[in-house]
């Protein structure tokens, strides 16, 4: 295979994800409504209850809406990553996954193309959300939007690869939905998405320690710093390493020799 | 010397303690149509899973045009076109989008892909359905799209897993005739898993799979003569009962 074949292949996978994204308008709308509800309703209610001190990357006192916006961008990536992986389980049940897996391209390459496509689509949704959030007083510096793009891709890759790995472990759609509830909500609530970690530490040291082990915390912090045109090196490193681990696990999960899929398939 | 389009040697596969395939060996000659027959649960679908690298064999080798599927999967798979028993089209995409997606997965250049898609749509009389969503097509048209897709990258070996199941007689006949003409005019080799006797002709080679083992193989006419059964239907029933 020559290099142009790989480019054609990547374009094909990206276009397919885009076509599906455009066709599934309800999915796009629900992906926006969810964080907007948090921003408009939840944040309004909690604004008075939660005082936010000056913490990096913010240089002054901020409103609660401003604080939770990166976390809500994170939840867009988290939900989209998981939902796209859910579509892998659907594809597997419906049979269209076979078309992908019987391609002559290396399977790792195919899965990475899929993950990048998912991350790019998540990034589009995140920017649309930020545009709406701007009208609710969330006004980061313009250059922050540019800084954000690589952070969105990295965090999107990490969360999509986690979803892809989980999808390789489950046999049926019903199981996947159950597992997602045990992944999405703990990841979201046990992170710095909704409240600063020092607040969590004040409340409960154990929960704080769990938050420190949660890779989603670092994804949110990477996004938060990037949105204000700075880099959180610790978050960058942890998100980078976690992405590599999850991608490796997802690729192994879809390998017929090492993965569970082959072992779990049924006779016929 | 002609290379075998497909060479299967000592292939075994287990689902836990259940042995689905046991030391299966056979070869397919160039430009031939070989029927893979067997009752439900005989191991046909497992064999297809192994031939397409969806599963990995416990033991044994699969070579596609001398390329070992385990060691050089890319080189082996690019010679393969596959139609699965279960539809593998994306129902929410149009016919052309499905074909474009497949072409991209094969690494095909977009210009070449466009040209090949037009050719295959024409061949299967699907030009006027090109932009329809697959969801809007009936079973017969969907099957045609799947076969068109399997041929898009000009494979030299076509694997059909129960490709005519659920189709009306006329469409089945059309596909049957068409697939045979591919062997004659384009030199494509076909391995066709089926349980429909109508899909098999007397001059076809067949492989009879039972309980995960090859119980009989050879030209249908010869097997029929040796068995003394009056027709193909009876022969298959005989094989199903007692082997050869």
A140-169: pLDDT as tens digits: 999 999 999 999 999 999 999 998 888 888
- Chain B CB contacts of A1 under 8 Å are 74, 78, 107
Cβ <8 Å between A8 and B88 = no
Cα separation, B142 vs B134, in Å, equals 7
Where on the phi/psi map is residue A17: left (φ > 0), alpha (ψ -120 to 50), or beta?
alpha
- H-helix or E-strand containing B8? strand B6-15
Cβ <8 Å between A12 and B105 = yes
CATH number at residue B193: 3.40.50.300
Tally the domains of chain A: 1
Cα separation, A218 vs A224, in Å, equals 10
Q: Report the pLDDT value the prediction gives residue B12, as an integer from 0 to 100.
A: 93
Q: Confirm whether B173 is domain-assigned.
A: yes
Tell me which residue range forms the domain holding A26. 3-257
Q: Report the pLDDT value the prediction gives residue A166, as an integer from 0 to 100.
A: 86
Tally the domains of chain B: 2
Cα separation, A65 vs A117, in Å, equals 29
Domain boundary among B154, B171, B193: B154
Query: Residues B149, B185: one domain?
Result: no
Distance from CA of A165 to the nearest CA of B (A): 17
- The pLDDT tens digits for A205-238 are 899 999 999 999 999 999 999 999 999 999 999 9
Query: Residues B141, B189: one domain?
Result: no
Which comes out higher in pLDDT, residue A41 or B21? B21
Mean pLDDT of B41-56: 89
Cα separation, A253 vs B7, in Å, equals 28
B209, B236 contact by CB (below 8 A)? no
Distance from CA of B91 to the nearest CA of A (A): 9
Cβ <8 Å between B107 and A5 = yes
Q: Confirm whether B64 is domain-assigned.
A: yes
Helices A215-227 and A142-169: crossing angle in degrees, nearest 10, is 160
Decide the pairing of beta strands B205-210 and B213-219.
antiparallel
Distance from CA of A52 to the nearest CA of B (A): 46
Of the candidates A158, A121, A143, the one whose C-alpha atom is nearest the C-alpha of residue A226 is A143
A157, A121 contact by CB (below 8 A)? no
Cross-chain CB nearest to B87 (options A8, A95, A262): A95
Cβ <8 Å between B97 and A19 = yes
Which comes out higher in pLDDT, residue B152 or A268? B152
A136, A99 contact by CB (below 8 A)? no
**Which two tokens mark B87?**
């539809």
pLDDT at B208 over 60: yes
Residue by residue, DSSP assigns B101-120 as: HHHHHTT--HHHHHHHHHHH
Q: Report the pLDDT value the prediction gives residue A265, as an integer from 0 to 100.
A: 56
Q: Confirm whether B84 is domain-assigned.
A: no
Task: Determine contact: B15 vs chain A, CB below 8 A.
Answer: yes
**pLDDT-wise least confident of A54-63, A67-76, B15-24, B104-113:** A54-63
* Verdict on whether the full-model pTM lies above 0.80: yes
Of the candidates A87, A48, A44, A68, the one whose C-alpha atom is nearest the C-alpha of residue A192 is A68
Distance from CA of A204 to the nearest CA of B (A): 46
Beta strands in chain A (DSSP E): none
pLDDT at B41 over 60: yes
Which comes out higher in pLDDT, residue A49 or B158? B158
CA torsion through residues A140, A141, A142, A144, sign: negative
Query: Residues B71, B107: one domain?
Result: no
Cβ <8 Å between A265 and B54 = yes
The burial class, CB within 10 Å (0-12 / 13-18 / 19+), for A191 is: buried
pLDDT at B235 over 80: no
Cβ <8 Å between B105 and A100 = yes
Q: Confirm whether A226 is domain-assigned.
A: yes
**Which DSSP symbol is given to B133?**
B
Q: Confirm whether A36 is domain-assigned.
A: yes
Cβ <8 Å between A110 and B105 = yes
Q: Confirm whether A20 is domain-assigned.
A: yes
Measured in degrees and rounded to the nearest 5, phi and psi for residue B11 equal -80, 130
Measured in degrees and rounded to the nearest 5, phi and psi for residue A127 equal -65, -40
Residue position matching structure tokens 């997965």: B105
Q: Report the pLDDT value the prediction gives residue A167, as an integer from 0 to 100.
A: 84
Query: Residues B137, B237: one domain?
Result: no
Q: Confirm whether A262 is domain-assigned.
A: no
Q: Report the pLDDT value the prediction gives residue A263, as an integer from 0 to 100.
A: 52
Which comes out higher in pLDDT, residue A161 or B168? A161
Query: Residues B22, B64: one domain?
Result: yes
Cβ contacts below 8 Å, chain A against chain B, sum to: 121
Query: Residues B103, B165: one domain?
Result: no
The residue of chain A with its CA nearest to that of B72 is A104
Cα separation, B119 vs B148, in Å, equals 9
- The pLDDT tens digits for A14-24 are 999 888 888 87
Query: Residues B149, B238: one domain?
Result: no
B15, A63 contact by CB (below 8 A)? no
- Chain A CB contacts of B77 under 8 Å are 102-104
Beta-bridge partner residues of B12: B59
Q: Confirm whether B193 is domain-assigned.
A: yes
Q: Report the pLDDT value the prediction gives residue A51, as an integer from 0 to 100.
A: 60
**Which DSSP symbol is given to B167?**
-
Query: Residues B188, B227: one domain?
Result: yes
> Of B48, B50, B103, B106, which to mutate for an interface test with A (greatest number of A Cβ within 10 Å)?
B106
Of the candidates A107, A93, A91, A98, the one whose C-alpha atom is nearest the C-alpha of residue A252 is A107
The residue of chain A with its CA nearest to that of B98 is A16
Q: Report the pLDDT value the prediction gives residue B174, as an integer from 0 to 100.
A: 83
Residue position matching structure tokens 């109508």: B198
- Chain B CB contacts of A98 under 8 Å are 52, 54, 82, 84, 88
Of the pLDDT bands very low, low, confident and very high (cuts 50, 70, 90), residue A262 is low
Q: Report the pLDDT value the prediction gives residue B66, as an integer from 0 to 100.
A: 92
Q: Report the pLDDT value the prediction gives residue B164, as an integer from 0 to 100.
A: 81
Cα separation, B85 vs B166, in Å, equals 10
Cα separation, A197 vs B209, in Å, equals 63
**pLDDT-wise least confident of A73-87, A220-234, B103-117, B224-238:** B224-238
Q: Report the pLDDT value the prediction gives residue A54, as an integer from 0 to 100.
A: 67
Cross-chain CB nearest to B18 (options A2, A15, A267): A267
**pLDDT-wise least confident of A119-133, B51-65, B230-244:** B230-244
pLDDT at A106 over 80: yes
Q: Report the pLDDT value the prediction gives residue A198, as an integer from 0 to 100.
A: 81
B27, B61 contact by CB (below 8 A)? no
Cβ <8 Å between B20 and A267 = yes
Query: Residues B166, B148: one domain?
Result: no
pLDDT at A257 over 90: no
Query: Residues B174, B212: one domain?
Result: yes
Of the candidates B180, B68, B137, B16, the one whose C-alpha atom is nearest the C-alpha of residue A262 is B16
Cβ <8 Å between B84 and A4 = no
Cα separation, A215 vs A241, in Å, equals 10
Query: Residues B206, B218: one domain?
Result: yes
Distance from CA of B204 to the nearest CA of A (A): 24
Distance from CA of A200 to the nearest CA of B (A): 45
pLDDT at A189 over 70: yes
**Which DSSP symbol is given to B94?**
B
The residue of chain B with its CA nearest to that of A109 is B105
Distance from CA of A266 to the nearest CA of B (A): 7
Tell me which residue range forms the domain holding B178. 6-79+156-242
Cα separation, B14 vs B147, in Å, equals 30
Query: Residues B132, B162: one domain?
Result: no
Of the candidates B206, B198, B199, the one whose C-alpha atom is nearest the C-alpha of residue B224 is B206
Cβ <8 Å between A102 and B53 = yes
Q: Confirm whether A217 is domain-assigned.
A: yes
Average pLDDT, chain B: 88
Cβ <8 Å between A96 and B56 = no
Mean pLDDT of A56-81: 84
Q: Confirm whether A120 is domain-assigned.
A: yes
pLDDT at B130 over 60: yes
């Amino acid at each position: 295979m020559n290099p142009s074949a790989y480019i054609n292949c990547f374009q094909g996978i990206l276009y397919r994800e885009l076509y599906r994204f455009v066709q599934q308008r309800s999915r796009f709308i629900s992906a926006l409504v969810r964080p907007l509800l948090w921003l408009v309703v939840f944040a309004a209610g909690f604004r008075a209850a939660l005082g936010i001190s000056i913490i990096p990357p913010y240089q002054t006192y901020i409103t609660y809406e401003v604080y939770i916006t990166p976390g809500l961008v994170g939840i867009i990536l988290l939900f989209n990553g998981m939902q796209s992986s859910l579509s892998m389980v659907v594809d597997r049940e419906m049979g269209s996954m076979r078309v992908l897996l019987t391609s002559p391209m290396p399977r790792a390459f195919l899965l990475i193309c899929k993950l990048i496509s998912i991350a790019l689509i998540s990034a589009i949704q995140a920017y649309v959300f930020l545009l709406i959030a701007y009208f609710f007083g969330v006004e980061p510096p313009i250059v922050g939007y540019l800084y954000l793009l690589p952070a969105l891709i990295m965090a999107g890759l990490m969360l999509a690869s986690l979803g892809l790995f989980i999808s390789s472990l489950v046999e049926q759609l019903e199981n996947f939905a159950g597992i997602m509830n045990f992944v999405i909500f703990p990841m979201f609530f046990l992170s710095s998405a909704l409240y600063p970690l020092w607040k969590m530490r004040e409340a409960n040291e154990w929960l704080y320690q769990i938050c420190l082990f949660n890779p989603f915390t670092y994804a949110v912090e990477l996004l938060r710093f990037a949105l204000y045109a700075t880099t959180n090196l610790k978050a960058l490193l942890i998100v980078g390493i976690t992405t590599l681990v999850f991608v490796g696990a997802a690729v192994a999960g879809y390998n017929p020799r090492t993965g569970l899929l082959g072992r779990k398939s049924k006779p016929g | 010397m002609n290379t075998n389009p497909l060479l299967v040697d000592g292939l075994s596969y287990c689902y836990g303690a259940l042995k689905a395939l046991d030391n299966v060996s056979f070869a397919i000659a160039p430009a031939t149509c070989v029927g893979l027959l067997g009752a439900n649960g005989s191991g046909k679908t497992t064999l297809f899973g192994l031939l397409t690298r969806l599963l990995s064999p416990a033991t044994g080798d699969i070579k596609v045009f001398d390329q070992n599927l385990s060691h050089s999967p890319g080189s082996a798979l690019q010679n393969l076109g596959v139609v699965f028993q279960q539809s593998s089209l994306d129902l929410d995409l149009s016919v052309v989008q499905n074909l474009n997606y497949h072409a991209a997965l094969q690494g095909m250049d977009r210009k070449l892909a466009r040209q090949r898609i037009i050719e295959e749509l024409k061949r299967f009389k699907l030009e006027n359905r090109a932009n329809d969503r697959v969801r809007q097509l009936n079973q017969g048209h969907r099957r045609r799209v799947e076969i068109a897709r399997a041929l898009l990258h000009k494979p030299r070996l076509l694997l059909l897993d129960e490709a005519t199941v659920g189709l009306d007689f006329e469409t089945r006949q059309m596909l049957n005739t068409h697939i045979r003409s591919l062997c004659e005019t384009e030199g494509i080799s076909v391995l066709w898993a089926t349980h429909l006797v109508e899909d098999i002709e007397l001059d076809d080679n067949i492989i009879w799979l039972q309980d995960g083992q090859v119980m009989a193989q050879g030209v249908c006419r010869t097997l029929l003569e040796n068995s003394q059964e009056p027709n193909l239907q009876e022969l298959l029933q005989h094989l199903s009962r007692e082997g050869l």
